[in-house]
């Protein structure tokens, strides 16, 4: 009976994860998850015996005591790219995460330490001119010197008042028509971060990921270089949830839960028969 109870609990977890994937089927940059199970403790009924000169060996006899949660894996494959036409929407085609952070920048090239990472590129420009996410975090990148070389310090990307024609190219370059010179300038480049184990990142909510003890070392580079994906403006990356597989998982979770509940019902009937032996 207790083995079946553990089955009920773990299939409920599987259903919870599946339901969350379905709920986020249209969430920008969402990554789906997968549940795996592992067998729990085993009760040894008889130990194994080795062979002798007269007889062969015999295997041990064990009875399983239920199922445990093996893992909840983040599936970090890319989602479909949807065209929006908004120049501030940016999709990553390939590996990498946008770096975002919080702080109080006021001027040009103010440092911002990235505290989270995201694949949701539906950005906007705040009333102070900074490139931000929809939840208000600053999008960070590198400032470019006079020769176009990046200065390796994470800064908040700022578009000056009166600038027009904001655009983001495939290498993350942020350009606009300068209101003073009336020429196009590219003073910033959005940088992307990769991790040796991106599946080890932890969800923080709000389309954000944070590092964990097992996410590995962060590597920062220009989009399109060192194996990173390119940035595509005017588009966003949608969820990578596969509804066909997700609904199949939901049916599997439902039937697994149902089967374990039948075991509990059968065990209850056996106990009832045992009690009724004495009438």
Contact 204, 177 (CB under 8 A): no
| Confidence at residue 231, expressed as pLDDT on a 0 to 100 scale | 96
DSSP 219-234: EEE-TTSTTBPEEEET
What per-residue confidence (pLDDT) applies to 6? 92
Q: Is 202 helix (H, G, I), strand (E, B) or coil?
A: strand
State how far the Cα of 48 lies from the Cα of 219, in Å rounded to an integer.
Answer: 50
pLDDT the model gives residue 194: 95
- Look at residue 61 in the predicted model and tell me its pLDDT: 87
Please answer whether residues 228 and 20 qualify as being in contact, where contact means their C-beta atoms are separated by less than 8 angstroms: no
Supply the pLDDT for residue 240.
96
Residue 54, pLDDT score: 84
What φ, ψ does residue 69 adopt, rounded to 5°?
A: -80, 115
Residues (pLDDT < 70) of the chain are 279
**Which of 190, 200, 199, 196 minimizes the C-alpha distance to 227?**
196
- Global pTM reads 0.87
Ranges of each domain in the chain: 2-48+58-76+241-275, 81-237
Tell me how far apart the alpha carbons of residues 115 and 113 are, in angstroms, rounded to a whole number.
6
Tell me what pLDDT residue 46 has.
86
231 close to 172: Cβ distance less than 8 angstroms:
yes
């Amino acid at each position: 009976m207790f083995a079946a109870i553990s089955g009920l609990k773990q299939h409920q977890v599987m259903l919870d994860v599946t339901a969350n994937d379905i709920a986020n089927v249209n969430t920008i940059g969402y990554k789906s998850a997968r549940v795996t199970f592992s067998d729990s403790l085993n009760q040894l009924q008889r130990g194994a015996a080795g062979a002798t000169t007269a007889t062969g060996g015999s295997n041990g006899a064990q009875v399983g005591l239920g199922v445990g949660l093996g893992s909840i894996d983040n599936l970090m494959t890319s989602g479909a790219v949807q065209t929006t036409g908004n120049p501030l929407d940016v999709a990553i085609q390939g590996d990498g995460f946008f770096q975002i952070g919080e702080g109080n920048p006021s001027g040009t090239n103010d440092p911002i330490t990235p505290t989270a990472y995201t694949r949701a590129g539906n950005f906007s420009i705040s009333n102070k001119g900074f490139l931000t996410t929809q939840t208000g975090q600053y999008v960070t990148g590198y400032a470019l010197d006079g020769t176009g070389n990046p200065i390796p310090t994470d800064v908040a990307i700022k578009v000056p008042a009166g600038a027009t024609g904001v655009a983001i190219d495939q290498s993350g370059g942020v350009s606009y028509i300068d209101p003073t010179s009336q020429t196009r300038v590219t003073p910033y480049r959005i940088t992307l971060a990769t991790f040796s184990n991106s599946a080890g990142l932890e969800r923080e909510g709000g389309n954000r990921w944070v590092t964990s003890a097992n996410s590995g070392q962060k590597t920062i580079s220009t989009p399109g270089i060192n194996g990173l994906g390119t940035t595509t403006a005017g588009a966003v990356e949608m969820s990578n949830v596969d509804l066909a597989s997700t609904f199949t998982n939901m049916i599997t979770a439902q039937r697994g839960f149902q089967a374990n509940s039948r075991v509990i019902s059968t065990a209850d009937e056996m106990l009832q028969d045992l009690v009724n032996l004495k009438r």
